Chain A
Amino acid sequence: MNFIIQFVNSLTSGGGAYQFLNHILNGISLGSVYAIIALGYTMVYGIAKMLNFAHGDVIMVGAYVCFYTFGALRLPGPLAPLLAVCAAAAVCTLLGVTIEKLAYKPLRSAPSLAVLITAIGVSYFLQNAALLLWSSSPKVFPNFFVLRTVDASGETAVLRSIQFGSLSISFVTIVTIVSCIVIMLALTWFTGRTKMGKAMRACSEDKAAAQLMGIDVNATISLTFAIGSGLAAIAGALLCSAYPNLVPTTGSMPGIKAFTAAVFGGIGSIPGAFLGGLLLGVLEIFAKAYISVQLSDAVVFAVLIIVLLVKPTGLLGRTIREKV
């Protein structure tokens, strides 16, 4: 009862509205990171019908590649981050396709449980390989999104956020949301309008029938993994720009939360992943701010359970009627 009173009080008191807005902004900022990771999950699930639990760890690999390329390049201006993200995307795409070829393709006709366990295995393999390669001492990811301004007296000021009155939004948040929307639109267009995209949707509906129609199912699934892993690299760079600690387990917790977001929004649905990610982020911040920090995850998952009880396919999930 207490927290409801606290909630109402904080809304009606003077600083409450400002606080509330601030929490929404922080929630959107956290949620947009979840959303961009969830896009990768939902894409692979929608087409290959498998949960790629190694997605979070591909993100971590992407972030490490980005970190080291950026450190090695030492170029001025926005060129270095761009090149670093491109390098990370290339490495992750290759990694994703390799993982699919080595670990998932031999199990194409195996029960889905076997694939799930393999995915968890791949996730641990990546984490431990990263531990060996890059050691577990934390790296601090550089903040790509800063404005360096030189004022009249010649002093360089580093801007990390924009001020709207007393509210401040960091550049990372803006970039994350914008790239999230762009990626979502591009993916929707790709799966809906292009030939490869149509092949993907065909595979997701019925692999056998798609094959009969002359679609190369294996190539299509590989392409899905390539795109999903490429997105993971971008997600890694954005995740670590917002929360700059890079360790081999960086990807696992956001990965699980993003998976939750994908289920929340309706797994397999691209706009659903976006919506689910944002809502999850806002919910988490609200639960932390108005209920309790320790209980925040419990609250978030309780809401998830309720949503799934009412709408088992998630917010934007398609209801598939089983025909007998």
Chain B
Amino acid sequence: MKKKLLCALLALAMLFALAACSGAPAEEPSTGDNTETNAGEEPAPDSGESGEEEAQLSGETGEEPGGETSNEASQPTDAPAPAGNAFKLGGTGPLTGGAAIYGNAAKNGAQIAVDEINASDSPIKFELRYEDDAHDAEKAVNAYNALKDWGMQISLGSVTSKPAEATSAESFADNIFSLTPSASSTATIAGKDNVFQMCFADPNQGTASAEYIGSQNLGSKIAVIWKSDDVYSKGIRDTFLEEADAQGLQVVSDQTFSDGNATDFSVQLNDAKTNEADLVFLPMYYEPASLILAQASAMGYAPKWFGVDGMDGILTMQGFDASLAEGVMLLTPFNADSTDEATVKFVTEYEKRFGEKPNQFAADAYDCVYAYCQALTAANATPDMDAATINGLMKEQFTTMTFYGLTGTESGLTWDASGAVSKSPKGMVITNGAYVGMD
């Protein structure tokens, strides 16, 4: 009886494993792989129930690595860079989980840049590999180690702040140069001379938001709702409050939430409403923000909403009612509606491949790859150099070069020795379900 049960459970587990495999983008190499391992396994002992069970067990364990390697092997097929004379570029990001929109956007953006560079006549070629960290520091370190085993020479760091604080410490210790597209907390770069950011830092976002609200007269009574157990949220909120004071903005409500109670926001919204806040500042990621917008609409509270770069992605949530986000303002360094040639080219390519407008994370990652390309070319680096040598060259290049990319201003981007970038955010407002530049 118990054996039958075990068999049934194993069969179920296999089914799930198969279902998961079929969700992976590239199937063809995987099926070849699987039949091989299965064919090798099947003729094993088959008499009696226990034998069957063993065969099933080994079949299952044999399958999983097969599925995974094929999944990873699918990436180089996207980028036909011959291994051996390409720089191995690795990054971690939340490809699944609550922040998956960011991770996938960054991965897609970087992939487009890598493909463009590999197809061009540039002497620099890249081989890109992204590992999933599910927005978790521990998983990010594992993902980083997997990349190191693969032979990563330069790193795109991590996409989100919490994992980036963990992986940047590792890449500092390992002398692997890292340029993160979007991990904006100050702790990511603090004290590490080889970790650089493509995005503006959290304090910068808080200050810029307050300045923007003050200079555009968007509101006089401000409510802030922030996530108290998140460095990203707290960092922005703290500097926002400082600058709001300087701008003469009145903060009438300052409310928090945390992981355990991130479903019901009625108290926070009520506090904002009774204190007659006409603008609510939301320094958080899009997941709680979408709940706040829905609950505010259900209680009939309609202030102006102002978000930060974490709000980017709210429109691509499956099933999200875009009318809830109508009029939401946010600061991002990238405007997909911009009409300059480079942006239009990138946006068209991204829409063609992935069926949606790129957000700033995609643009940041795209810029990261091009910044690397420029720096590697200028330093005459070759793919046979080891990570530590490239690390030294990159540190020198990034502190002296000026980079012109999709994000940032016309005067170009520069980095100081701490790894922070000179960049100014752009104000965007959500109109008819799309981001539109405010100025």
B266, A26: Cβ atoms under 8 Å? Answer: yes
* A207 CB contacts on chain B under 8 angstroms: none
Within 8 Å by CB of A137, from B23, B261, B271, B318, lies B318
Question: Which of B42-50, B187-195, B295-303, B340-348 is found at the contact surface with chain A?
Answer: B295-303
* A163 CB contacts on chain B under 8 angstroms: 300
A296, B261: Cβ atoms under 8 Å? Answer: yes
Number of interface residues of B (CB under 8 A): 46
A170, B16: Cβ atoms under 8 Å? Answer: no
Q: Is B25 an interface residue (CB 8 A)?
A: no
Q: Which residue of B lies closest to A173 (CB)?
A: B298
* A293 CB contacts on chain B under 8 angstroms: 228, 255-258, 261, 267-268
B294, A143: Cβ atoms under 8 Å? Answer: yes
Q: Is A5 an interface residue (CB 8 A)?
A: no
Question: Which of B93-101, B231-239, B402-410, B419-427 is found at the contact surface with chain A?
Answer: B93-101
* B320 CB contacts on chain A under 8 angstroms: 140
A288, B261: Cβ atoms under 8 Å? Answer: yes
Chief secondary structure at chain B's binding surface = helix
Instruction: Return the CB mask of B4-36 against A: 1 if under 8 Å, else 0.
Output: 010011000000110110010000000000000
Within 8 Å by CB of B5, from A67, A106, A133, A253, lies A106
B263, A253: Cβ atoms under 8 Å? Answer: yes
Within 8 Å by CB of B19, from A132, A141, A296, lies A132
* A129 CB contacts on chain B under 8 angstroms: 16
B298, A170: Cβ atoms under 8 Å? Answer: yes
A136, B100: Cβ atoms under 8 Å? Answer: yes
Question: Which of A88-96, A219-227, A242-250, A259-267 is found at the contact surface with chain B?
Answer: A242-250
Question: Which of A15-23, A179-187, A311-319 is found at the contact surface with chain B?
Answer: A15-23
A138, B16: Cβ atoms under 8 Å? Answer: no
A253, B318: Cβ atoms under 8 Å? Answer: no
- Please report the C-alpha to C-alpha distance between residue A61 and residue B98 in the assembled complex, in whole angstroms: 18
- Please report the C-alpha to C-alpha distance between residue A172 and residue B299 in the assembled complex, in whole angstroms: 11
- Please report the C-alpha to C-alpha distance between residue A278 and residue B166 in the assembled complex, in whole angstroms: 42
* B401 CB contacts on chain A under 8 angstroms: none
Task: Check A102/B8 contact, CB under 8 A, given A26-B270, A136-B98, A293-B256.
Answer: yes
Q: Is B290 an interface residue (CB 8 A)?
A: yes
A102, B263: Cβ atoms under 8 Å? Answer: no
Q: Is A168 an interface residue (CB 8 A)?
A: yes
Within 8 Å by CB of B263, from A15, A142, A243, lies A243
* A29 CB contacts on chain B under 8 angstroms: 266
Q: Which residue of A lies closest to B96 (CB)?
A: A136
Task: Check A19/B101 contact, CB under 8 A, given A102-B8, A245-B290.
Answer: no
Using C-beta atoms within 8 Å of the partner chain, give the interface range for chain A. 35 or more
Task: Check A140/B298 contact, CB under 8 A, given A30-B264, A106-B1.
Answer: no
Within 8 Å by CB of B291, from A18, A133, A160, A243, lies A243
A138, B287: Cβ atoms under 8 Å? Answer: yes
B101, A26: Cβ atoms under 8 Å? Answer: no
Residues facing B in A184-226 (CB within 8 A) are: none
* A138 CB contacts on chain B under 8 angstroms: 98, 287, 290, 317-318
Q: Chain A: residues with CB nearer than 8 A to chain B? A: 15, 18-19, 22-23, 26, 29-30, 67, 71, 102, 106, 129, 131-133, 135-143, 158, 160-161, 163, 168, 170, 172, 243-245, 247, 253-254, 284-285, 288-289, 293-294, 296-297
Q: Chain B: residues with CB nearer than 8 A to chain A? A: 1-2, 5, 8-9, 16-17, 19-20, 23, 96-98, 100-101, 134, 228, 255-258, 260-261, 263-264, 266-268, 270-271, 274, 287, 290-291, 294-295, 297-300, 317-321, 323
Given contacts A135-B96, A254-B263, 8 further A-B contacts (CB under 8 A): A102-B5, A136-B96, A137-B97, A137-B100, A170-B298, A253-B260, A285-B267, A293-B261
16 CB contacts below 8 A, A to B, read A102-B5, A132-B17, A132-B23, A133-B19, A135-B23, A136-B98, A137-B98, A140-B318, A143-B294, A160-B297, A168-B299, A170-B299, A243-B263, A245-B290, A285-B266, A297-B261
